[in-house]
Every structure is written in structure tokens, then in C-alpha cells.
Structure 1
Amino acid sequence: MNPRRRFIKYSALTTAGILASPALLQAKRRIAPSDQIRVGLIGANNMGFGILRHHLALPEVVCAGICDIDQNVLDRRIKEVNDLTGKSPERFTDFRKLLEKKDLDAVIIGTPDHWHCLIATAACEAGKDVYVEKPMANSIGECDLMAQAASNYGRIMQVGQQQRSGQAFIESRELVKSGYLGKIRKVNIWSNFNYGLGNLKKSPTPVPDGVDYDFWLGPAPKRDFNPNRFHGSWRHFWDYGGGLMSDWGVHLLDMAIWIEENPAAPSRVLTYASNVNLENRDRDTFDTMNVLYPKKDFLINYDMNGGLQTGPYGKPYGIGYVGEKGTLVVNRNGYEIYPEWDPEAKAPKIEAKKLEGMKESHNLHVANFVECIKTRNQTICPPEAGRIAALHAHIPNIAARVGAEELIWNDAKREFEGNKAANELVWPSYREPWVLPKG
């Protein structure tokens, strides 16, 4: 099924259902137990729970369990699911116990990035399908392991790059690939968000009551507890995430990759990175980056600015497909085409088009995942798409960390050419007793 037909189908499936409405609860009761899809949530504090809510808005989905290392989060989320559905999911503090459930069909992974690989590979081995938040993993090597696990165990995996399910992005891709804009010269991407600065520095504090902090760290290095490295802001530290580049970068870069004739990992990457704002900020990651990806079909130019809120065309973030006949600018709210002027014809080269009023597409992305669980068809964002998008974010981050303006990536060998320091960051080092999964 092509992306536009997917959008129409899943939009119809999800927009009619309002979670906890009497009609939806009645519909859930009519689903035979044998036709139910039982999901478990691992990592329930933020986005993971939002994704669970979208699952529960589908009549056939039941929440069988929730796992979190924070008892306070666990208490709150179990109560919310009970209030929404009239049933309390089973409670877990160790994801391995949740995966032992024989009647569990799938898991949602909403943990910090450094946990994605361990949990996803274990879930595949346990025979569970996987919805994993983006970026796919916290390192290049871990992305490979996850893709291999999904293939080896025949599991359905959806990576949470939900823009692939959004109408504005689907229509934009169709317009680009149809040739409406003419030959694409380059794709300009920008993301300007204040939170990219990270938090102001704080002193270490005691571990909050109810939190198993050692389990939260998991394979990451042992460190004293600091609220800046915990809920909500962990992504600014290399141990757990990749900053604004891996948070928004994979979303936006994926939309450039999606229009390639044969989507592929980047080979040559040129990176400028700096921390411009040093005013008592607590972060490892960079607030300012410019990255060039020379591709076979066109150039991708990514401009990232933490601490800024405005950008080209009056949008804090967006993608501009620059064609010979016009430029199409798109973000989650919609798109607009800016035609080039034909001086001989004294007229625009193409007709201007516009789409406005779009909303988030998490619900459509979830509906696609659930449909693929039933049909065993490939999801709209399968593991290889997640891997390639993650590489476009990880490579410039690695370049910036090792001080390389240019890196050459050999995807066949899964290594950088001529840069030992960069190759040392392809794979993470796991803290005992955690062990990196085997491919």
C-alpha cells in the first residue's frame, strides 16, 4: 500500500475513536480475546506513554503491562490506564520479566536511547513485535544489531519517525518524486529550538524516592545522580542520547532521505559544530551545527541552532526541497510551494500549492504498526529506514566529538575510512553486568 493510501486508511481508523469514550470502550468489549493485540510499555514517563495512548485508542489493543524504574511514574501511569480503559495493566520494574509474558504480542520502547538496543533485541528474541522511539539507538553499531534481530526472529518493528505517516510529508514526497518541482538541487533543513541549549547547571542530589537509578543507568557509565541527566533532559549527554541532532535530526533528515531514488547511508559528511552558548549550561552535546551530506541525487544541508526559536520562512524548523521550478517548504503544520519565475514566459514556472492545518501523526504511525502486526507486512518506517536516518545524525555527532571536519563512512564495512578515533565511537562500551547483544 502506498503512503497516501496508508494515510487515508489509518486516518479513518483513528480520527473517529476518542480514548475512553463509551463507544470505544464498547468496541473494545466486542473484540474477541483471540483477536486482541496485547502490548506492553517499557519506559512510561513521557513519549512512551503518549504512544501507548494512541495504541489504546484502537479497539483491538489492550495494555497488558507497564514497566518503569520509577515507582512514581509507574503508579501514575497504571492509574491513568485504569481510568481510561477500566483495567489495570500488570506492573513491572524489570523489562525482562515483562518479556516473559507468553500472551504479550508487542512492546513499546519509550526509554532513553541508550536502552533501545538491549530491550529491542531481547523483545525480538522473546517473539514480540517492537515499536521503538527514535532515534533507533544511541550508536551506529546498536542500530545494526536491532535490524538484524528483527530480521533473524521475523519480528515487525516500527521506528518512531512518525512524519512518514503525516499527510503533509506524504504529499510533499509525492510532489517531489513526481517531478513537479523539476530536478531537485538540494534539500535545506533547519531546526531551531530553545531546549537545545540544555539546562542550567545543577549540583548532584540524592536519588529520588522510588527510583532504581542503577537500573536506569543500565549499560551506561556509573555516575552520581543529577536531575539534569534524568527525566526530560538526559538527551543532552552522550551516555544516553545525541542532543538536538539526534532528537530532531532523525525526523527531518529522514524526510530528505525518503525522496532519494535508493535511500542509503551517507558516505561523505562535512560537519561544523560548536557550543556557542556556554552560560552555565550542563550538556555534552552541541548547540550549533551545520552539516553537508553530498548525496548521489542532491545535496542535503542541515542547519541546527539550539537556543534560537525562529528560522527561514518564519518557521522554527522545516524542510525545503529546492527544485529547478520551485521550492517546497514543509513542516508538521503543512506545506507551501514557492514557484520560480520564468522570465521568458513572464509567469511562474509552476502553480503555487499550499496545505495548512495539519496535526501530529503519531496516531497514524501507531495504526500502521498495529495493522502490520496483524498482516505481517513491512511497516512504513522499518528497521533499515531507522538505521539510515540514525546514521545521518550519529555521524556528524561523532565528527564533532573527535574534531573531524570531514568523515568518510563505508557502509559495506560499517566503518570510517582513515579515522581511528571515529571508529572507536561506532560501538558503545557497556557497563557490567550488561552485555552488548550479539548480531
Structure 2
Amino acid sequence: MLRSILLTNDQYMSTQINRRRAIQGLAAGSVAFYHGTSSRRVSAAESPNEKLNIACIGVGGRGSANVNGVSSQNLVAFADVDEKRAGGMFSKYSKTRRYTDYRKLLDELGQDLDAIVISTPDHTHFHPAYAAMQLGLHVYLEKPLAHNVWETRTLTEYARKHNLATQLGAQRHAMSNMHRVVELVQSGAIGKVSEVHCWVGGSRGMPSIPNDTPPVPATLDYDLWLGPAQPRPYHPSFCPYGWRFWWDFGTGETGNWGCHILDIPFWALGLKYPTRVKASGPEVDEERTPKAMHCEFQYPAVESRGPVKLHWYHGTPPILKEKGLSSKGNNTLFLGEDGMLLCGFDRLQLLPEEKFADYQRPQKFIPDSPGFHKEWIAACKGAEAATCNFDYSGPLAETVLLGNVAYRAGGFHWDAATLKTGDNAAAQALIKESYRPGWEI
């Protein structure tokens, strides 16, 4: 059995357990956490021309795009619990070592790696990321970073403390239109912004509750897919994909799209942690995510701007009808004292049109991205931090997750420093969830 190596900070500093010794003390079975200094030499950090040794955890679905995104480097190993879903990448990269259990991968190859890419369901983001970080590995992690706020904050702070290169998979951050939106807002095109409305359309959520128990496919390690989540019978309606709409595994459309869309106002306005969160929507279901939701976040004034009220909708915002605006191709509306900015990932419009007919846009001051994955690869090799490193994207992910908490447990005042939800005990219980035996932290 893999045994957890959990040390206090004093023990960590005094024992100086190197990574090889930690790994040698482990055998396959439970969840592994490694503490101690690393003897690994990140050769690529010494020469930007050298390739990183990368392992990828989760290579089917979205994971396949991330594998291809880092394919310029040495792809040392893949881990995936679903042999069928991962089959395309296994065949394409036939010389890459294959694992079912990421813990065995880290056990056997950990000291030879430089970085890791994680593209698993939300509920299995934290454990492999935290274990990899404790081995000194740089991390690319799919959004919404983790399954709860405590996990997100823990990864963010650990990466900062140990100077690890990180990137959250909010790849639309690299789109040139996103840059132009940020430039317009930060240049004062619509004056001081006090309110922003963001949304994603559709009504995905509340899947049917299974009434049968089909056998687990022979190509799937279902127990490992469950990971830290509480046991439940296998069903294809949530594995391999429908998990997104079950609270035990996913974070709904808010978690799915929130980190992409809220990235726009976060970047443009320099948002970080809200102080008040509230939400509304259909009756809360204990197991499944909703088909619609409205969240409201209040951000305090900072030196560069006044207070901001940020709205998130799973559905169409009423303000669009009020102002006669279309949601087609758009997902964000900035309200400024001198006008409005309506935009999406690849379009923008200053309003009212007649006021801005002769407006001269500011000179571009946000440089083009060399490529979202390339940013992270360069950061792993010692270049500047990637644009969605956890110091930036951690608070963004926390905001998304706090919206879900408020929907499920009611509004609350948020103390970001202590991760406290004021006097809302029900909300506090959702900030850090419990894990099933064998996966405890």
C-alpha cells in the first residue's frame, strides 16, 4: 500500500527527505503525498533549448488536446483509468509509457520528470496535482483548478511557496480579442466600471438519475476513476463525461465555463477575492447541478478602481433585454460611467454605437501569446510566469466555486484570508469536503 508521508513544517525542514528516498518508501495502493527536498535536476531550466520530461494524467477527451499542446517536449508517460477513451493518444504516442494509476507513475518515474499535465474530472484534480507538486514538478491543470475552494487555495499557495511554474487551462486567455477588450477597459474607453454581467447559455444540468446498474467496462478502472469521491455504482451517464453535472464529481456549467468567461473581467479589472457572494436559481438538488443559476459577487475598491459588482448567469441575463442587446456571440457586458462594452471571446462592441463611431482605440500594449501551452513550457524552463499561473487563476477559480457554494447553501460574507463564510455554517461545510478512506489529506 502507498503510505502517506505527512510531516509538519518543522519536520519538513529538519528531515530534508529527498525525493528518491520518499518514492522508494512507497508501494502501489493508496494515495501518496511526498514531503521533502527534491534531488531532481530540472535540466531544461538550465537550458531553454533542452526539452522537458513531461507526464500526462488523463489523455482522453480534453486531455488529448493538452497532450498535443505539449508534444514538442519529451512525453515520458501517460496515465489514464479509461483504456478505451485514451486509446487514440495511446496509439498516436505508442512509444510513451502507459499507466492506469498515476500514483504508480509518480512512484516509478517521479524523479525523472520535470512537469506534469493533468486533465482529469474536477474531483480528481487535486490529489495528483498536490502529489506532483510535492515532488517539485511544474503543473498544467485543467479548469476549474480543483473541486473545492480549500483545494484550490492549497495548490495556489504551494506553487507560490515552492516557485513552481503553473498554468490553468483557460486557453482562451491567449486570444487576441481578449487582449483588445482588456486594453479598452484599462485605457478608460467606457470610464470607471462598476458592474459587469457575464453568462453562458444553454440549460445543461440535472441529468436523469440512473435506475439500472450496468457492469463496469473491462477497459475502465472505475474505483480509481472515483478516486476521493464517495462510492456509488458505475453508470455511463456520469462516466466518462456526464460527471460534470453531479456535485460529487463536477462543478456544473459554472465550473465548466466560469473560468473562461469570468477571465475577461478578472483580467480587465484586476479582480481577486470577493467579499460578499450570493446566488439564486431553481430548487437545489443535493446530487445534481442546476440548469440555470445567477450569482452575484461584490469586490471592494482598490487603488486602481472603485468597487465592482460582478454577475454570473447560467442562462440569459435580463439586462440584455432591458438594453436591447443580443447574447449571440457575446458573453460579457461591462457597464461604465461613459458607456458599455459588449464582448465575447472573438468580438467586441463599444456602446452606444453613435458615441463611439469615431473612437480611436488605444495602441496595443498586451503582447501576443506565443501559444498557451508554449507559455507554460517556457515558464518551466525559467522564463516569466505563464499568463494563467495559479497566482492569477487561483482567485478566479475560487470565485467560480464560491458561486456554486452560495447557490447550494445561501449567500455569505467571504473572508478570503481565513476561508470563512461568516455565520453561514452550511456554506462553510462546502469549502473543504471530506474524502473517502484511503484518500485523506
Q: TM-score interval w.r.t. the shorter chain?
A: 0.7 to 0.9
TM-score by length of 1: 0.79
Q: Secondary structure at the match of 2:414?
A: strand
Deviations 1:118-171 (A, max 9, x none): 111111111211000000100010011111221333211111122322211111
Quote how far apart the aligned CAs of 1:66 are. Answer: 0.8
CA distance in 2 between partners of 1:435 and 1:363 (Å):
39
Q: Secondary structure at the match of 1:302?
A: strand
Does the alignment pair 1:67 with 2:79? Answer: yes
- The residue aligned with 1:236 is 245
Alignment of 1:393-408 (within 5 A): 393-402=400-409, 404=410, 406-408=411-413
Deviations 1:180-239 (A, max 9, x none): 221213111111024345468563311111111001101000000011121121110111
- The residue aligned with 1:161 is 170
- The residue aligned with 1:170 is 179
Quote how far apart the aligned CAs of 1:269 are. Answer: 1.3
- The residue aligned with 1:225 is 234
Q: Secondary structure at the match of 1:367?
A: helix
CA distance in 2 between partners of 1:362 and 1:54 (Å):
14
* Distance of aligned partners of 1:131 and 1:173 in 2 relative to their CA distance in 1, 3 Å threshold: same
- The residue aligned with 2:13 is none
- The residue aligned with 1:37 is 52
**Which of 323, 330, 338 pairs up with 2:343?**
330
**Which of 363, 368, 378 pairs up with 1:371?**
378
Quote how far apart the aligned CAs of 1:254 are. Answer: 2.3
- The residue aligned with 1:3 is none
- For the 8 Å contact 1:274–1:289, the answer to whether it is kept is yes
- For the 8 Å contact 1:268–1:407, the answer to whether it is kept is yes
- The residue aligned with 1:429 is 434
- The residue aligned with 1:111 is 120
* Distance of aligned partners of 1:407 and 1:54 in 2 relative to their CA distance in 1, 3 Å threshold: same
CA RMSD of aligned residues (A): 2.8
Quote how far apart the aligned CAs of 1:63 are. Answer: 1.3
Alignment of 1:18-37 (within 5 A): 35-37=50-52
Aligned residue type for 1:184: V
- For the 8 Å contact 2:329–2:344, the answer to whether it is kept is no
Does the alignment pair 1:295 with 2:308? Answer: no
CA distance in 1 between partners of 2:87 and 2:119 (Å):
17
CA distance in 2 between partners of 1:381 and 1:419 (Å):
31
TM-score by length of 2: 0.79
Does the alignment pair 1:212 with 2:221? Answer: yes
- Structure 1 unpaired stretches of 5+: 1-31, 83-87, 342-346, 354-360
**Which of 376, 380, 388 pairs up with 1:381?**
388
- The structure with the greater share of residues assigned to strand is 1
- The structure with the greater share of residues assigned to helix is 1
Deviates more, 1:135-144 or 1:387-396: 387-396
- Structure 2 unpaired stretches of 5+: 1-46, 301-306, 362-367
Quote how far apart the aligned CAs of 1:39 are. Answer: 1.4
CA distance in 2 between partners of 1:375 and 1:74 (Å):
31
CA distance in 2 between partners of 1:248 and 1:352 (Å):
32
**Which of 425, 431, 436 pairs up with 1:420?**
425
* Distance of aligned partners of 1:203 and 1:317 in 2 relative to their CA distance in 1, 3 Å threshold: farther
Quote how far apart the aligned CAs of 1:51 are. Answer: 1.1
Aligned residue type for 2:290: F
CA distance in 1 between partners of 2:191 and 2:121 (Å):
41
Aligned residue type for 2:75: C
Alignment of 1:96-107 (within 5 A): 96-99=103-106, 100-101=108-109, 102-107=111-116
- For the 8 Å contact 1:117–1:142, the answer to whether it is kept is yes
Aligned residue type for 1:115: T
Alignment of 1:281-320 (within 5 A): 284-296=288-300, 297-305=307-315, 312-315=325-328, 317-320=330-333
* Distance of aligned partners of 1:425 and 1:283 in 2 relative to their CA distance in 1, 3 Å threshold: closer
* Distance of aligned partners of 1:413 and 1:160 in 2 relative to their CA distance in 1, 3 Å threshold: same
CA distance in 1 between partners of 2:381 and 2:175 (Å):
22
Deviations 1:305-352 (A, max 9, x none): 29xxx99524265111222333222222222222365xxxxx548628
Deviates more, 1:246-255 or 1:144-153: 144-153
